[in-house]
Structure 1
Amino acid sequence: MTPTAGPSNVHRHAPGAAASVVVERGPDNVRVNILNTRSTQAAPGETSRSAGTRLGLVGVRERVTLLAGGFSTGPTLDGGFRMTAELPLREPTGPGPDTRRARQDKQVRKDETAAEDSAPSTAAPRTTVPWTQFGLWERQATSAVLAVCLVGIAVLVAVIAAALPWYSSEYRSNVDKPPTDAVAVGMTREEVGRIIGPDDALARLAARSVESSPPPSARGCLYAQEWPNQRQARVLRYCFVQDRLISVDRFEIGRGDGLEGP
């Protein structure tokens, strides 16, 4: 096999080159070494076929690998070519070599296994025990109780969240009374903001139910809050035109809603 394939390659691809075949027998294997020198003649009609496709070497490698041997090829320093094959004298006992044919066989077996797994199952369908009437009622009652509890908790949280800011003494004690006496009509929005602070969203929300319409010419208002006593809150509204304060309105909350002018 290898001793004949090597000289054939030399004759076909390196015309005029000298070739040598050395066979060495060891205690456990046989080594075949085929060596040729640089070609001394130009191959007539140089084509891709004369240059070689290396498919012959691939076939030799696979046949050697099937016998659990080793195969190597490569150029030599003087421009020649070397091909070495080493074959065992004893039958291998380990797993088979991973050749192209072996890989193809593995792929075929893998595809067959996948086809078997994707085939529809013929096993009998699982059966479920139907709910009894008492068990169905019990399940519905449990669901209803849980739903009522969740709704009740949500309503309680909403009530506490809405009532706590306005009726908590701790919250009211932490609210600074805006120094309304220092605010005067004609001041700029920036000056008013430095005195009363930023717009109070909570005061704006509380004033919705008691405030009157802002002046028609107003182009924006700021809201603040103050607590004259423990039971009464007051919302203050500052309206501006072209960043100038034009009105200050006060709305009482908690002891009869009323309205005072600036």
Structure 2
Amino acid sequence: MGVAMASINKKKLADSVIEEIKRMIASGELGEGDKLPNQHEFAAQLGVSRTVLREALQTLAILGVVEQRPKIGTVLLTRAPLAYTEHLSAPLMEDHQATIELIDARRVIEVGAVELAAQNADQEQIRQMGTLIRQMERLLNRGDTDGYIEKNMAFHLLIAESSGNRFMAHLLATIRGFMQRWTVESLTVLPGLDQRSLFLQKEIYQAVLARDPAGAAEAMRRYMNDFLASVKKFYQDQEESSSNRRAQ
């Protein structure tokens, strides 16, 4: 653990922390059964806040990579699930099939997760959802897209966690990197998607707050269907534009 940590990029901080932990494992600095430094020390070494570090460790815990042990701290269990955190090398929006499959995967996982969350979320989790919605709105109004995306990811991961089903939380965590990359790319090329996304996420939150499982599932379904319709229109417009250029 004496080797100096690489500097952490301030963008996509939680993902960067995960990448740094992966690097430490690959280099032999961390092995199975090793205890990570305490959060205050580790966050300082990585150059991030403890909040960012906790988010990264929470994702790794859901994946089964680390475990929080009372009176001991965070322990590395295995490196095997880290393969799921790899990002695609090419932009997702350039891969039509991958984009559609990602939205379909999210729809299957998140519709079920939010239905359970409306039944199982505790009051603190619901309070956190409301806080994230308000933060997303403020960030969007300020034009802070990166901040909005970070809170967007946190909102959806919190819903999965609030479902009370660890397998659902695990499944969503495994595609978190893809979700974040796709959201960044889609908000760049799909005008108005950010405002519609926020509006639909408010509906999701209101249904969870009302303890309405069917309403929450339907709101999430509308959210995913809006993404899908926007993407399909984007691809259709691209194809028509390409056809017109070839015809000239």
- TM-score category by the smaller chain? under 0.3
Q: Identify which of structures 1 and 2 has the higher relative contact order when contacts are C-alpha pairs closer than 8 Å and 6+ apart.
A: 2
Q: Between Structure 1 and Structure 2, which shows a larger proportion of helix residues?
A: 2
- Normalized against structure 2, the TM-score is what? 0.21
Larger radius of gyration: 1
- Normalized against structure 1, the TM-score is what? 0.20
